């Protein structure tokens, strides 16, 4: 990326940055301009206002965009393919059935939440929630009680995985922008995300289920929906996942996706197969992180073939590529699918994530402009003068962006772009510190989901709750998840 010598003082640069963020929010919220277009436009205007030389403006924009996409596009695309293959094979149903049987009906909310955590590693929040809805509804009808008892632990699990854990686009983009190691972000995302979900998602879900009696929408019998039911096509404004269908009365439902409605699949994969596919990329990434740590410590020779091979196959894009190839063979065999059908399935995964990939790339463009113009260094100086730690500043900025415009992904990428130059200008930040800064940004992008967040309306309409009840349940849970995650990240930053 082109390095530009700043020509303005810290005060004007910070005013330009503030005006840029406000303009970005105005374009997205008030004028409903697509976030991708808004980010590009604001990046251009900020570059011009900060007096980046005209001959360097385009290379500054494309440099930030390209460097971000170099990693984000691979991870998000491959992650989406893996999630689509698992959905296609009926993997979500298998996870839920086996875990409920093993945990017992009394712990069904815990079992459903654990299944959602596992399934949420490769699949995005909205898609995962819609896939799990027939299972949640059927379990709630069978066992009784408020829908929130079963639904909030599941929704919370998908929310945590989507915000905290790669290969989801938000943490991947944030890690790329601040220079954090993806493997460490994955490790701390899980270490912090799991207790965060248990406290803020599972336990709060049980409490909310006792306090708010939300009935299960009667969409499982296949007949006409009763009053209060979610329409068969999903709530207004929501995009159902292809192949999601109501569950039959006698079981937990079948969420397997068939590209050909006339075909009859021989059966879903086993629990061990699904679990193995979900754990395979984690194990490969952990292998890379572990061997790199041992090599840095001098325990093993970093030039040895074993270390080099482990680092190669454990690099996140390669680990996901290996997993997708294995899933195509294993899951395709289980469903007796042709190569053409498998190709169609993985191809269908890419369309829905293209916008997310482009938005994260545009967020990287914005961050590149902030770095090149000297705004990041000015912000770092101000934070240093007031004594606000980097990790706290990351959380606060992310919270403000989340509350203002709603999208967790936009909040993550924009906050990371603002913090990237601050991180570069801060001395003494270790690789662990950088990973925890990413988690703090993710935590800030989780809190206070309200009416400007699509996830708020997805939960409200599918659970058939009014806005007031959704604010008291979903919004409170999201705020708990973000706050607990940040507190845990802050505590770890103080002791590690």
Question: Which tens digit of pLDDT belongs to each residue from 213-232?
Answer: 989 876 444 433 333 333 33
Helix, strand, coil percentages (3-state) for the chain, rounded to 5, are 75, 0, 25
Helix (H, G, I), strand (E, B) or coil at 416: helix
Q: What is the mean pLDDT of residues 242-251?
A: 35
The two tokens of residue 83 are: 């999630």
- 48 in a domain, yes or no? no
- 246 in a domain, yes or no? yes
- 167 in a domain, yes or no? yes
Residue 150 has pLDDT above 90, yes or no: yes
**pLDDT tens-digit series, residues 178-227:** 889 888 999 999 999 999 999 999 999 999 999 999 898 764 444 333 33
**Tokens 């005060």 map to which residue?**
11
- 322 in a domain, yes or no? no
Distance CA 443, CA 482 (A): 4
Residue 380 has pLDDT above 80, yes or no: no
The two tokens of residue 75 are: 């991870």
Q: What is the mean pLDDT of residues 106-127?
A: 84
- 281 in a domain, yes or no? no
Distance of CA 270 to the CA centre of its chain: 26
Residue 119 has pLDDT above 90, yes or no: no
Provide the CB-side half-sphere exposure for 351 (13 A, CA).
7
User: Which structural domain, as residue segments, surrounds residue 379?
Assistant: 61-259+348-495
What length is written for the chain?
496
Residue 472 has pLDDT above 80, yes or no: yes
Assess contact for 281 and 186: CB atoms under 8 A: no
Instruction: Report the chain's terminal Cα–Cα distance, integer Å.
Output: 32
**pLDDT tens-digit series, residues 59-101:** 989 988 887 787 678 877 887 788 788 778 887 678 778 878 8
- 41 in a domain, yes or no? no
What percent of the chain is modeled with pLDDT above 70? 85
Number of neighbouring beta carbons within 10 Å of residue 309: 12
**Tokens 């912000």 map to which residue?**
379
- 115 in a domain, yes or no? yes
Residue 378 has pLDDT above 80, yes or no: no
Q: Which residues contact 461 (CB under 8 A, 6 or more apart)?
A: 230, 234, 235, 236, 237, 238
Distance CA 357, CA 73 (A): 6
Q: Find which of 246-250, 318-322, 409-413, 488-492 is predicted with most confidence, using mean pLDDT.
A: 488-492
The closest alpha carbon to 215, from 153, 126, 149, 159, belongs to 149
Distance CA 18, CA 419 (A): 13
Distance CA 33, CA 31 (A): 5
Cα 36-188-77 angle, rounded to 5 deg: 35
Q: Which residues contact 155 (CB under 8 A, 6 or more apart)?
A: 129, 201, 459, 474, 477
What is the residue-wise DSSP string for 324-363? HHHHHHHHHHHTT--HHHHHHHHHHHHHHHHHHHHHHHHH
- 17 in a domain, yes or no? no
Question: Per mean pLDDT, which range of 249-263, 324-338, 396-410 is the poorest?
Answer: 249-263
Assess contact for 79 and 168: CB atoms under 8 A: yes
Distance CA 402, CA 400 (A): 5
Q: Which residues contact 453 (CB under 8 A, 6 or more apart)?
A: 406, 407, 408
Distance CA 492, CA 46 (A): 35
Q: Find which of 116-125, 287-296, 319-328, 348-357 is predicted with most confidence, using mean pLDDT.
A: 319-328
Distance CA 487, CA 471 (A): 22
Residue 465 has pLDDT above 70, yes or no: yes
Question: Per mean pLDDT, which range of 61-75, 155-169, 379-393, 405-419 is the poorest?
Answer: 379-393
Q: For the chain, what is the domain count? A: 1
The two tokens of residue 252 are: 């937990």
Distance CA 82, CA 121 (A): 10
Torsion angle of C-alpha atoms 326, 332, 334, 337, degrees rounded to 10? -170
Alpha helix (H) ranges present in 445-475? 454-462, 467-470
């Amino acid at each position: 990326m082109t390095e530009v010598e700043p020509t303005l003082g810290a005060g004007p640069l910070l005013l330009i940055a503030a005006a840029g963020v406000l303009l970005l929010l105005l374009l997205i919220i008030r004028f409903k301009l697509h976030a991708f277009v808004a980010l590009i436009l604001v990046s251009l205007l900020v570059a011009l206002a900060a007096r980046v030389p005209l001959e360097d403006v385009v290379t500054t924009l494309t440099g930030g965009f390209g460097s971000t996409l170099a990693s984000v596009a691979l991870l998000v695309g491959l992650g989406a393919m893996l999630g689509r293959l698992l959905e296609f094979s009926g993997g979500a149903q298998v996870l839920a059935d086996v875990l409920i049987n093993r945990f017992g009906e009394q712990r069904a909310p815990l079992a459903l939440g654990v299944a959602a955590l596992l399934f949420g590693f490769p699949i995005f929040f909205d898609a995962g929630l819609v896939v799990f809805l027939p299972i949640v509804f059927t379990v709630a009808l069978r066992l009784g009680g408020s829908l929130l008892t079963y639904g909030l632990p599941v929704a919370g699990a998908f929310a945590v995985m989507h915000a905290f854990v790669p290969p989801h686009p938000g943490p991947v983009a944030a890690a790329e922008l601040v220079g954090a190691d993806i493997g460490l972000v994955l490790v701390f995302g899980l270490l912090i995300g799991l207790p965060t979900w248990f406290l803020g998602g599972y336990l709060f879900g049980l409490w909310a289920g006792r306090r708010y009696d939300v009935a299960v929408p009667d969409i499982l019998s296949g007949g006409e929906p009763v009053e209060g039911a979610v329409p068969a096509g999903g709530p207004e404004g929501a995009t159902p996942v292809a192949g999601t269908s109501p569950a039959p009365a006698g079981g937990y439902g079948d969420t397997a996706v068939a590209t050909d409605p006339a075909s009859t699949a021989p059966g879903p994969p086993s629990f061990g197969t699904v679990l193995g596919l979900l754990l395979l990329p984690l194990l490969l990434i952990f292998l890379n992180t572990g061997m790199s740590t041992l090599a840095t410590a001098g325990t093993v020779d970093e030039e040895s073939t074993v270390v080099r091979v482990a680092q190669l196959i454990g690099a996140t894009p390669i680990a996901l590529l290996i997993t997708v190839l294995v899933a195509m063979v294993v899951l395709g065999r289980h469903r007796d699918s042709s190569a053409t059908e498998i190709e169609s399935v993985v191809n269908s995964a890419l369309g829905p994530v293209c916008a997310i990939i482009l938005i994260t790339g545009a967020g990287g463009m914005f961050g590149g402009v902030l770095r090149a113009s000297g705004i990041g260094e000015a912000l770092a100086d101000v934070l240093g003068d007031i004594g606000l730690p980097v990790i706290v500043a990351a959380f606060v900025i992310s919270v403000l962006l989340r509350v203002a415009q709603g999208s967790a992904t936009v909040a993550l990428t924009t906050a990371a772009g603002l913090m990237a130059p601050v991180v570069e200008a801060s001395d003494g930040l270790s690789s662990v510190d950088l990973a925890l800064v990413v988690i703090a940004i993710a935590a800030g992008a989780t809190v206070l989901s309200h009416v400007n967040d699509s996830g708020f309306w997805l939960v409200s309409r599918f659970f058939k709750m009014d806005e007031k009840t959704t604010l008291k349940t979903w919004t409170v849970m999201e705020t708990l998840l973000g706050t607990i995650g940040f507190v845990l990240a802050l505590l770890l930053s103080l002791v590690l």
